[in-house]
Amino acid sequence: MAIMEEEVVKIAAQGAVTELVINRPQTLNALNADVLNSIILAFEKLAEDPSIRVVLITGAGEKAFVAGADIAGMADLGPRAIADYVELGQRCMRTIENFDSPVIAAVNGYALGGGLELALACDLIFASRKAKLGQPEVNLGIIPGFGGTQRLVQRCGIGTARRLCFSGELIDAEEGKSIGLVDKLCEPEMLLEDVRKYAALIASKAPLAVRKAKSLLRQAHAVQLLGGLRLEIEAFLELFASADREEGMRAFLQKREPKFKAV
């Protein structure tokens, strides 16, 4: 197995299947700009190799796939910087979504906020039975900004998207499977083995046919998705300028309950 290790992303290639590991376990693999840029760079490099038929994404450590965006890094960003950050996040998710071959998320722990949005950008989601999933952005006075409002609707339907985005509640992998968010449940110790076996199954099929199937499935909702993603960015930036957002993030960092005032 050949390994390329970058500061925040590790890539391991084994035959037609490549594994990409988000490598910030000390922050529960939180998505800062370095991680997002590294993911984009990794997929751009992988796109140059026609022998790659499946990509697997997971998180380093035992606790988290990706626990969300890097709130400590976001809290003090100004209008231009936060706009750049959200645009970068959406570009990262679109890079994964538009990759020619299938991408499988191996959710080994928390997949919250931007972490769930990362999983949603993948074609398939396999989850450990210990995984927790959710879009808890409303607890911070914001909304999902990396495509969550749009891809949740596509994957689970409007009712589930409303519930998760309005309440910010976390659900377990079992419930995730029942609502169509998770494609397959795995025992924690078997997650990577199960995903590798399924990736190998896909990789054994005719690659041109698999890639064409992915392209057509993606295009089925492309126009609606692109329009919705632009609206999501605009709404996110509007909320980021609010006092509620500032209170929500300060409360999160200070480990206390926020006091929202709708201003």
Out of 19, 97, 117, 232, the active site residue is: 117
| CA 257/CA 241 separation, integer angstroms | 20
| CA 60/CA 8 separation, integer angstroms | 10
Within the chain, strands assigned E span 2-5, 9-14, 17-22, 54-59, 64-66, 103-107, 110-112, 124-128, 132-134, 170-172, 184-186
The three-point CA angle 197-203-209 to 5° equals 140
AA letter at 189: E
AA letter at 237: L
Out of 137, 169, 232, 238, the active site residue is: 137
62 is catalytic: no
The three-point CA angle 41-56-121 to 5° equals 70
117 is catalytic: yes
Catalytic residues: 117, 137
